[in-house]
A and B are shown apart, each in its own frame.
Chain A
Amino acid sequence: MSHLPFIAVAYGLGVLVPLAFVVTAFQRMASARRKLAAIDPRDRWS
């Protein structure tokens, strides 16, 4: 495993970058849903 640091960094990036996109996307959707509910409670977005 002489290439372990390269493998570890590649897998770290491969997990963290998509995870960051997923977390920010869900946060943005939750925020938009809250704002929409506050403006018009009749609007239903599941």
Chain B
Amino acid sequence: MRLSGAVLPYLAAAALVLTVTGLGWGLFVSPADWQQGDAVRIMYVHVPCAWLASAGYTGLAVCSILSLIWRHPLADLAAVEIGPVGAGFTALCLATGSLWGKPMWGAWWVWDARLTSVLVLFFLYLGHVALVRAFDDPTRGYRAGAILALVGAVNLPIIKFSVDWWNTLHQPASIGLTGAPSMAPAMLWPLLIAALGYTLVFATIVTVRLRAAVMERRIRGLLMARAASESGA
């Protein structure tokens, strides 16, 4: 926790600088697409949120494994704090995708494999958020949430490969781990900077929420200890 306290100001500052730079570059400097025109600028918000929707859920699944197997005390709290943030970024991904789809496809929504699997991801996040808070005994809630998160992780490869496995309206990935990106550098750089900025924003939010959760747990412990000593005296 001391380390997170020391790192937090730098993390927040880097998140702010990179996000503002990436979004500003994407909105004002990067060129319009020859086919999509200026609507392509929505990509600089939509794609980072889409990456974070999946990355956040991966983090949730990793915390669930740490919680179920090693009973790491911070893993439960981290999973609880990642859930609402991941749901928010997934909702943002769906909303900005819809705003991009309307001018390009002529529809706010289509039951396309990529869109539907991301909608399922959003419901998985909401289910996790509700489930971990549904029990009087928090430990049972953490356990149930961890199992749901791990079962739901099967949706992550479906999201990733949905555009390859099915004939979708959504375009395939322009950037991959293998092979050169099929995107002009003038668009790629602001996208990567915005994605890194949004990732640091996500990390900042989760770190701050986690610090608050640890302090709240400490407060509950101190109050319970005080109440026990007063009733015993």
Contacts and interface: CB of A to CB of B under 8 A. Distances in A.
Given A13-B92, A43-B218, A6 B223 contact: no
A43 B214 CA distance: 13
B45 A11 contact: yes
Nearest to B103: A3
Main SS class of interface, A: helix
A24 to B, nearest CB: 9
B27 A11 contact: yes
B94 to A, nearest CB: 11
| Range class of the A interface residue count | 20 to 34
Main SS class of interface, B: helix
Given A6-B100, A13-B92, A39-B223, A21 B215 contact: no
Contact of A6 (B12, B89, B99): B99
Interface residues of B, number: 43
Given A7-B42, A10-B42, A22-B201, A35 B99 contact: no
List the 6 closest pairs (A to B, CB-CB), nearest first. Answer: A14-B45, A32-B215, A25-B208, A3-B39, A29-B212, A46-B5
Interface of B: 1-2, 5-6, 12, 19, 23, 27, 37-39, 41-42, 45-46, 49, 85, 88-89, 91-92, 95-96, 99-100, 102-103, 198, 201-202, 204-205, 208-209, 211-212, 215-216, 218-219, 222-223, 226
Given A10-B100, A43-B218, 13 more contacts: A6-B39, A6-B100, A14-B92, A17-B89, A18-B19, A21-B85, A22-B12, A35-B219, A36-B215, A36-B222, A39-B219, A39-B222, A45-B215
